[in-house]
Each structure stands twice: as C-alpha cells, then as structure tokens.
Copies of this chain bind each other. A is one copy, B any other.
Amino acid sequence: MKRWDVIISGYGTVGRQAGRLLLERQERYRKRYGADVRIVGALRSAAGSYDADGLTLDQLRAFSADAGAGRPEWTGADFLESCAYHVLIEAGPSDIQTGGHALEAMRAALGGGKHVIAISKGALVADYPGLSALARENGVQLKVSGATAAALPTVDLLAYNLAGCEISLMEGIFTGTANYVLTAMMDERLSLTQAIERAQQMGIAEPDPRFDLEGWDTACKLTILANAAFGAPLRLSDVKREGIEQLTHEQLAAWRAAGLVPKLVGRLQSAQGRVEAAVELRLLEPTHPFVHVRGTTKAVRVETDTMGELLVIGGKSDPVAAAAAALKDLEHLLQQSG
C-alpha cells in the first residue's frame, strides 16, 4: 500500500480540523484508493510536532493545547526542505503583502517535489505565478480549493465540471462576512456598525473587519481564481475594488424603496484572451438569482459557450468546511494516482 505522508503547516483552527478529519478518513483512503495516508508533521511558525510513523489524534491534540509544545528545529522552510513527506497542507495566517511564512513553506515544499494544498490566501496572492511554475517544474500539484471560497466549488467548477468549455464570465458572492453585514442592514435595518458588531459576536467577522468589508477578501479570491482557473497572471493591484464600508442608512432606505438589493459581487470576465477582474457593489433587481443569497451564504455564476449558465449557491463557511475543502484537494491527488 502506497504511503502518503502529510505535513500540516500554519497549524491553527483550520489546520486542527483538517488533522482531525484526515485521521477520521484514513480507513476510507485505504479502502478506496489503497492509500496509507498519515500526518507526519504539524507545524507552527515557532515549533513543530513530527513523527515519521504518523502522529496520532492525541499527539495532535497535545500539540494544539500547549503553545510551548513541539520542537523549534521541526518547522520552517529548512525543515520542510530536509524532511520526507508527500503533501503539504498550508493553513497559516494570510499575509497578502509578502506571503509570509506560508509562502516560504510552499516554496520549500514545491521545490522539493511535494504537492501543496493551500488554505490560506496570502502566499497565492503574493506569488501565484511563481508557485505554479515551481509546481510544474517539479511535477507536482498546487491545489487551492481551501483558498478560493472553500466548500463552494470555484476552480473545480471550471476545471472539472465545465472541462472543455470556454468561460466568458465568472461572478459571485465570495465573502460571507460582507454578505452577512449587507443582508443584516437590508433585511433587519441594522446600521453598518450594528451589523458588524453582530457579525463579530457571532464569530463571523474579524476584530478588524476592513479586509472583508472593503472588498479585499473578494479581490484576493478573484486574483487566485484568475490565475488558477483562467490561467491569467493577474495581480491583486489589477483588481478594481469597491467595498461596503461607507454605506449609510439613507442609501439603503432609498434602494429598499426602489426595490433594489445591494450585493458585493466579484466578477471575472474573459474576452479576447484578456481577463478583467472587479469587486463591485451592485444594485440588483429582485429577479436576480443573487438576491436570494443571504447571510454568510456564498454563490458563483458562470457563463459558458456550450453548456449554458451554471449557478452554484451554498457551501458552509466555517473551519470544518475549509478543512473539508482542503481534504477534497487531497482526495483529488489520491484519485489521480489511483
């Protein structure tokens, strides 16, 4: 039986869920793919837990529970370059300026001929073309479901469900937090501040919600999607961007009176080999399918040449779903090698 040794770096909330789910599914991987999948390492920026025979759930829990656990020599790019494994799952914090530790980890893994499954967006936003080239040169894959709307299929949808189609448009509601805030303002007439506070109490919004509300989160996802799904070397600075951080009660009342529904929509449009990306505050007629996409729910709509249009709505927005999306990517690797 083929061994598949996995390291999870940036081991935090999502990484823990990925670890737990992976161990739950080990028996399934054996039966379905003849694959003996093990987690050999769990790494944080300062230290790591490692066992070449595979870490148990108890070992992973002990590492999670104690900030001082693990060994400092078992982490970082040097460790990832020197040690034996097949797949890196990167789930660390996003640094969209430099890519941070996550970018170093991904470069080390891809450069060493390991597959990379990215959950955090920062490294992909900072240097998708470089990482993609590194994967190609080393004959391995760079998978990004966890970083591009997670449980809502996006890259998959184009590369697999619509394989062979020309895609002229992909647009969607890609940021659950922004959609939650907008829905609360429209449906429950909360002010922007009230809606943000509620989202923060529910654990949906970050203490600093600007990344989501100013459209940066959607813009990052569009940047990755343009690269991964359209093959266009788009950068974050190429994305036109609007947010919802300036909306007033008065504006919303006027739109409500006019029967319009505001939504923060990310759009990728492809024509004559050129891909254009924009995050836009759109005022939708009540018949538009995105009008029914409420709260933290996400959605994507694509237009094709031969298969018509597809609209996909849903996919949970929580750490378990993000982890499950990354394990979907892992399963694609197992399927392809089977």
Interface residues of A (CB under 8 A from B): 21, 25, 28, 150-153, 156-157, 160-165, 289, 292, 306-316, 320-321, 323-325, 327-328, 330-332, 335-336
Contact = CB atoms under 8 A, between A and B. Distances in A.
Given A292-B292, A332-B160, A310 B306 contact: no
A329 to B, nearest CB: 9
Contacts of A335: 163, 336
The interface centre, meaning the residue of A156, A160, A165 with most chain B CB atoms within 10 A of its CB, is A160
B324 A314 contact: no
Given A160-B160, A306-B316, 12 more contacts: A21-B306, A151-B307, A152-B310, A160-B332, A163-B332, A163-B335, A164-B331, A292-B292, A307-B316, A308-B314, A309-B315, A310-B315
A15 B75 CA distance: 56
Given A292-B289, A307-B321, A314-B308, A160 B156 contact: yes
A150 B327 CA distance: 27
Given A156-B160, A160-B332, A328-B164, A312 B311 contact: yes
A314 to B, nearest CB: 4
A324 B165 contact: yes
A328 B161 contact: yes
Contacts of A308: 151, 314-316, 321
